[in-house]
Each structure stands twice: as C-alpha cells, then as structure tokens.
Structure 1
C-alpha cells in the first residue's frame, strides 16, 4: 500500500499538473480526473475518456507505489513496516518522489532539487538523525532497532588488581 493516494497528489500539486504528466491521450479533463479519483459515476463520459482516465490514474498510482518502495528501502532498518498510521513527514516525502517519478526523464531543476533534498532527509531518517515523530494521536512509529546490553561481569576491579584501580 502506498503512503499517498492519487487524491493526495491532486491536492498537493493540482489536477492540471498531474494530468500533464499522466494523460498521454489528452482526452482527460480536470473535471473527469477529479470525478474518477473521487469514485464518482463516469457513465456519462465516452468509453475512450473513461479508459484514458483509468490509464492516467494507473500511472499516478505506479509513481506513488514506486515512491513508497524507495522510502521503505531507506527506513526499513529503523522502523517496522508497514507504518500505520503514516507519519505526515512521509506523506510529504512520498509526494515529492512520486511527482519526480511522473516527470520521467524531464524534471525541472526545482523538482530535481526537491527530490535531492527528499533523499537527504530519508538518509537522515535512516541514520537516526531525524525522527518520524508522533502521529496526531501521540503514537510514535515503532522502531525495529533496540539496544540490548549483555555483560559477563567485570574483568578488572579493585579486588582483582589488588586495589590498584
């Protein structure tokens, strides 16, 4: 399951931008895309437009899933996956990577810079320099790492060294 939905992408970047990156036929209107993402009845639209919007949504979902997989690759060593609920910071990071993915081989410099910053943030999370924090209910994501200290006892002490230490 992806950390974001197509609806999240539309809300964050606008229907027009997401359509420019996903509609290869140029048959899908903003109204049709928003109706399809909202799960509304599309029977009033021609079959070719219905197929085109289904393809556009599929491309956006692929980008979201790929972004989620990339994020999971970074954080799997520190957090138990899947994360439920999804921390807000991951929604933003996943959106940035998915947007970059939608631009195929022609991202703008600004989008490339945002992806670079996102990857740096993911490295910081993976290295423990940045926490995913708590969700709105106050629950922090469970970490997969825990420290366990084991000792065989003292090797050196006052008794074994004749009071020298």
Structure 2
C-alpha cells in the first residue's frame, strides 16, 4: 500500500514516522507544514471468515528510501503481510487528514527547503522604491523651504518674490 501527501507551497518542511503500538495497531504519520496524513493499521484481519493476526511493515527502504521524502511531498510504502487465504482477506486500514498544532519544522529529523522565505515580491519592491522616492522628495522640499526662508542669496530673494505673487 502506498500513502502520500503533497503540498503546493514552494518553501515547506516534511516529517514522517511509523510507530508500532502495544494496542494491536501501527501508525503512519506523514506531515507537511501543519497538515498530516495519519494512517492506522490494525494487526488483525478477517481471513476466510476467521480473525487472524496481520503484520504490517514499512517498505520505504525497498522502494527508494530517503528519495521518497522531500520538503514539499512525502510518501511511504506499507506492506500488509497476511496469511495464506483461499476466499478473501478483509483488512481495515484507517486514514485521516489532520491539522497539527506543531509544524513539521518543529519535529526532529524533518526535511526542509533551504530557500529563504524572506524574499521580497515585486509588489513589495515597487512599494519600497516608490516610498523611498516620495520620502526623498519631501526631504528635498523641506530643505528648499528652510533654505529660501532664512537665506539672503539672490536666488532665495527671487523665490520669495515668486511665492508672494
């Protein structure tokens, strides 16, 4: 069985764990940022009408190992080991998508992108440039105002006469 989770974000972290519980279940958790795919595998199944023990094993090392895990997508292969059957085998794995309180970045052994999320967008750059130009214009206007107000130079006198008309 293959379980996978993928994100559309360019900058993200992923985390994966497979836990064997004492309560007859095994758990797979694949998390990207604050979303996780949570799978529960019960260690029992109905084999030819009888309840029998089923074992589950993580097969990631057989199907690619660490290459399966990326910062924006992760997947896992789980082997469902069932006894020989002649009619049917009924298994009940349970999958849920959950929103986590802690992000994948907070987990040890998480895989994260190296790109910085602090890059400025084009709109932000345009805003900074326009704001800087307006700021420089205001500083220049204030400087000219104070220069012409207190100066006795011929240019300042002409500017005062222009402003008085």
TM-score, scaled relative to structure 1: 0.32
Larger proportion of helix: 1
Q: Which is strand-richer, 1 or 2?
A: 2
Larger radius of gyration: 2
| Normalised TM-score (structure 2) | 0.32
